[in-house]
């Protein structure tokens, strides 16, 4: 099992950061126990934590009331601790399906865990999940595991060694490493914000319809084969499966006209594209046609998206040394 280097007991101040994430296969279905493939991306959220006379987040003294992630982080990892001043900066667009809440949760878990003597990576994955789930009320361990682990990860799938297991009352998620095929990916934010919890609940209702089990089985089949194909570097097969996964996401009602417009704009310069994350707004991910990466970015920007070329980040959530 992968371990964090030992962290000496240390006090505050300290700083930590965690990457965002991009889901390639299996969002939504993963909430119901199906496999997912996700990778950490090279956009980060960084937090700076120090003791102070009052508890604040980015100067907001009402943050524990206003920000559920901040509140659940403090309740879970800082109960009885002194007041802290937290500053958070992020390059991950918010409510975009790119893991900003998971990154904030994991960065807080690293900092508060380190301040109280250190925390190993499996525990960090569990704590980060509890912060995010506590704030959102629903969801899987996929996002928080991705930003804790870095690189490509299979949730409830794959054949690599088990990195860790995350548990909720009703479910268990097993996390395994998948080899990075070394491809360039492009994501584009539609600019339409949405609430993950609402989308997850709507899909849950859709999957409880009579054809729900059949749909979930198809999500599972696509993700199992997608995890294998990414690990084996089979690009054409991955592209087919990305398109199939998008059809399923449409079918469960989480596409959006703005996302469809971006997918359409991407088509001439991409081998495949789908929404990524909760959908109903948020972002798409595309596998560019080799040599057409810049054209793809231009097309997505012209269609009104905010595109990023993303490289998988091998760095999981960690302390940032001064
Ligand atoms: O849109 P995001 O970044 O919140 O990702 C949500 C992914 C879901 O599978 C829809 C929910 C989850 O918790 O796994």
Which tens digits make up the pLDDT trace of 294-315? Answer: 999 999 999 999 999 999 999 9
Q: The pTM is what?
A: 0.94
How is residue 243 written in tokens?
Answer: 């398109």
Q: Is the CB of 132 under 6 A from ligand 1?
A: no
| pLDDT exceeds 60 at position 7 | no
What residues contact 91, with CB distance under 8 A and at least 6 apart? Answer: 43, 44, 45
Tell me if 278 CB under 6 Å of ligand 1: yes
Q: Distances in Å between the alpha carbon of 20 and those of 113, 115, 146, 240, 311?
A: 20, 23, 8, 25, 11
Span 259-271, mean pLDDT?
A: 98
Q: Is the predicted pLDDT of residue 10 greater than 70, yes or no?
A: no
Ligand 1 centroid – CA 86 distance (Å): 25
The encoded tokens of residue 131 equal: 């912060």
For the segment 204-227, the average pLDDT, to the nearest whole number, is 97
Question: Whose structure tokens read 């993950």?
Answer: 196
Q: In angstroms, what is the span from residue 246 Cα to ligand 1's centroid?
A: 15
Distance CA 169, CA 171 (A): 6
134-176: pLDDT as tens digits: 999 888 999 999 999 999 999 999 999 999 999 998 899 999 9
Ligand 1 midpoint to CA 186 (Å) = 19
By C-alpha distance, which of 260, 256, 304 is closest to 280? 256
Q: What is d(CA 23, CA 114) in angstroms, rounded to the nearest whole number?
A: 28
- In the numeric block, the tokens 């009602």 are attached to 253
| Residues pairing with 153 in the sheet | 38, 177
Average pLDDT over residues 11-16: 90
| Domains recognised in the chain with CATH numbers | 14-179+313-319 (3.30.230.10), 185-310 (3.30.70.890)
Q: Which residues contact 290 (CB under 8 A, 6 or more apart)?
A: none
Q: For the segment 20-50, what is each residue's pLDDT rounded down to a tens digit?
A: 999 999 999 999 999 999 999 999 999 999 9
Residue in 267, 98, 53, 266 with CA at minimum distance from that of residue 193: 98
User: Ligand 1 pocket, 146 CB below 6 A?
Assistant: no
Pick from 80, 70, 79: nearest CA to 101: 70
The stretch 100-108 carries a mean pLDDT of 97
The H-or-E segment that residue 74 falls in is helix 68-77
Q: Ligand 1 in contact with 145 (CB < 6 A)?
A: no
């Amino acid at each position: 099992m992968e371990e964090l280097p030992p962290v000496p007991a240390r006090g505050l101040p300290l700083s930590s950061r965690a990457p965002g994430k991009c889901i390639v296969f299996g969002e939504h279905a993963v909430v119901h126990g199906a496999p997912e493939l996700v990778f950490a991306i090279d956009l980060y959220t960084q937090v700076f934590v120090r003791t102070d006379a009052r508890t604040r987040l980015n100067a907001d003294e009402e943050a524990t009331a206003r920000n559920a992630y901040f509140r659940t982080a403090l309740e879970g990892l800082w109960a009885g601790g002194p007041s802290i001043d937290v500053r958070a900066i992020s390059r991950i667009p918010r409510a975009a399906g790119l893991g900003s809440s998971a990154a904030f949760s994991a960065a807080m878990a690293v900092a508060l865990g380190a301040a109280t003597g250190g925390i190993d990576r499996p525990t960090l994955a569990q704590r980060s999940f509890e912060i995010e789930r506590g704030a959102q009320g629903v969801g899987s361990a996929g996002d928080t595991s991705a930003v804790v682990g870095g690189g490509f990860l299979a949730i409830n799938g794959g054949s690599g060694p088990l990195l860790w297991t995350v548990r909720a009352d009703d479910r268990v998620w097993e996390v395994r490493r998948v080899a990075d095929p070394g491809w360039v990916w492009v994501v584009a934010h539609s600019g339409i914000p949405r609430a993950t919890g609402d989308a997850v609940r709507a899909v849950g209702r859709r999957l409880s319809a009579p054809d729900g089990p059949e749909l979930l089985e198809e999500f599972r089949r696509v993700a199992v084969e997608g995890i294998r194909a990414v690990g084996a570097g089979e690009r054409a097969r991955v592209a087919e499966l990305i398109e199939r996964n998008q059809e399923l996401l449409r079918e469960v009602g989480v596409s959006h006209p703005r996302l469809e417009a971006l997918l359409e704009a991407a088509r001439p310069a991409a081998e495949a594209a789908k929404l990524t994350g909760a959908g109903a707004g948020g972002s798409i991910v595309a596998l560019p046609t080799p040599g057409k990466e810049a054209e793809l970015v231009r097309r997505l920007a012209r269609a009104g998206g905010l595109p990023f070329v993303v490289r998988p980040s091998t760095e999981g959530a960690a302390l940032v040394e001064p």
